[in-house]
């Protein structure tokens, strides 16, 4: 099963353990994490439901391309890693 992991810099604000998710889109993977910890949503997405400008999401080490729609696919067995970018101070 795919897994979604949040970097320690994010965990500092909202604790959320790595979790197994169903294969699907990046948005579906995030929604699964938000279902477990609703507070996380506002830290990851802006109020237009886009990935915040200074965050990055990698699927098996490849940065997602659709930062607004989050439609990149998460294949079976892959790891989704959500991390803050070094930009943004």
Q: Assess 3 for contact with other proteins (CB under 8 A).
A: no
Q: Assess 60 for contact with other proteins (CB under 8 A).
A: no
Q: Assess 21 for contact with other proteins (CB under 8 A).
A: no
Contacts 24+ apart (CB under 8 A), 16-23: 16/40, 21/74, 21/80, 23/73, 23/74, 23/75, 23/76
Question: C-alpha angle with apex 19: 28 to 71, nearest 5 degrees?
Answer: 20
* Interaction pattern, residues 68-87, with other proteins; x per rule: CB under 8 A: xx--------------xx--
Closest CB 48 distance from other proteins, rounded Å? 6
Q: Assess 52 for contact with other proteins (CB under 8 A).
A: yes
CB closer to other proteins out of 26 and 78: 26
Question: C-alpha angle with apex 9: 48 to 18, nearest 5 degrees?
Answer: 85
Q: Assess 51 for contact with other proteins (CB under 8 A).
A: yes
Q: Assess 67 for contact with other proteins (CB under 8 A).
A: yes
């Amino acid at each position: 099963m795919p897994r979604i992991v949040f970097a320690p810099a994010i965990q500092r604000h909202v604790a959320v353990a790595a979790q197994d998710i169903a294969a699907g889109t990046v948005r579906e993977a995030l929604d699964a994490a938000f279902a477990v910890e609703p507070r996380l949503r506002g830290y990851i997405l802006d109020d237009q439901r886009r990935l915040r400008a200074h965050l990055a999401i990698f699927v098996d080490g490849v940065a997602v391309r659709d930062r607004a729609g989050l439609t990149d696919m998460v294949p079976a067995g892959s790891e989704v890693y959500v991390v803050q970018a070094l930009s943004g101070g």
